[in-house]
Structure 1
Amino acid sequence: MPNVTFHWMRVQTFCYATERKDLLEETMELLLGDADEFSEDESESEHGNTMTILEAKLTHQRQYRTLFSNLGKDVCDFIIEDVDNRIDEDCVFYLRLDKQKAVLGEYVPAHHGDVIAITGKVQSHPARKEVATRNLKEFLAGLDHSEASPESSGL
């Protein structure tokens, strides 16, 4: 398994005026564990309503392990099976989780817009997609999903 899997990761979601920010903050905290940098920025939606952008930046291997362990074996298996669609030519990894299900403690990949977006630059030497793909597969296959926090099973 590679010593370091990512250069960086960003986990981001939007909290709209009709949503409970405290619930989304708790969801992000349960998913991420001990993220070093957690920020909130106020913005305006396309309809003029106030929204908050919740974002965490991960920079340590233990944080990457915590995140993917919390996602669970099913999501990690999905990523392994779909890894060619999850990493681009610049070795950047992309995953979108259904935000409404995440609030309920269920992490499910999503193909719509109401999501928690996970993006990260996969380490690979040389920097090629096939190397990044192999590194990510090895990392995910080596995770112990029994480490996932008990709180991640539901809110």
Structure 2
Amino acid sequence: MASVPFHYVDLRAFCYATEDELRVERALRTFLPEGFEVERVENEGFHGDRILVLSARVENADAVRHVLDVLADIDLDDIAAELDERIDDNCSLFLRLDKQAAFKEQVERGEGLELRAKVEAYPAKKERAVENATDALEARS
């Protein structure tokens, strides 16, 4: 099996007071391997409303491959073309995904879910991270 050029993938979703926690968790789980644990942190909004932050970190190679396989449902060529803007100087790749679509087990770019993937790069330079991420996405398209 090919190596995975990501150290880990973080997924995060905010569940606002007007949203159903189970539905938001279901949307997040669209990207996670079965049985994966989702962490919950309760915060308070500006007006005192409850905001629940649901998050998960995927670190082992098989689980990262699972996330990448799910992401293959979107146009990875478009993302590959934007990698220079989507990878920061710390070699992290950022994507926003549609929470409503994810709830329906569809994968689309949009708002509501945040994905951050730490790209392997030696030396740890943005240019090298862009190359590695490009190779990884092209291999999956």
TM-score, normalised on structure 1? Answer: 0.80
Contact kept, 8 Å, 1:2 with 1:138, in 2: the verdict is: no
Q: Which runs of 5+ in 1 are unaligned?
A: 146-155
Contact kept, 8 Å, 1:34 with 1:63, in 2: the verdict is: no
Corresponding residue to 2:133 among 133, 136, 144: 136
- Report deviation, 1:46: 2.0
Post-superposition Cα deviations, 1:79-102, rounded to whole Å, max 9, x if no partner, equal 112111110122111111122222
Distance of 1:140 and 1:51 partners within structure 2 = 33
Contact kept, 8 Å, 2:4 with 2:64, in 1: the verdict is: no
Distance of 1:97 and 1:109 partners within structure 2 = 4
1:3-152 map, 5 Å: 3-34=3-34, 36-110=36-110, 114-143=111-140
Q: Which runs of 5+ in 2 are unaligned?
A: none
Give the stretch that moved more between structures: 25-34 or 58-67: 25-34
- Report deviation, 1:23: 1.2
Q: Which AA in structure 2 matches 1:77?
A: D
Sequence identity percentage: 31
Q: Which AA in structure 1 matches 2:80?
A: I
SS in 1 for 2:15: strand
Give the stretch that moved more between structures: 1-10 or 131-140: 1-10
Contact kept, 8 Å, 2:8 with 2:64, in 1: the verdict is: no
Distance of 1:79 and 1:35 partners within structure 2 = 28
- Report deviation, 1:107: 2.1
Post-superposition Cα deviations, 1:82-136, rounded to whole Å, max 9, x if no partner, equal 11111012211111112222223332223xxx41011121110111111111111
SS in 2 for 1:74: coil
Distance of 1:118 and 1:57 partners within structure 2 = 10
Contact kept, 8 Å, 1:2 with 1:135, in 2: the verdict is: no
Contact kept, 8 Å, 1:94 with 1:117, in 2: the verdict is: yes
RMSD: 2.1
Distance of 2:50 and 2:86 partners within structure 1 = 31
Contact kept, 8 Å, 1:15 with 1:24, in 2: the verdict is: yes
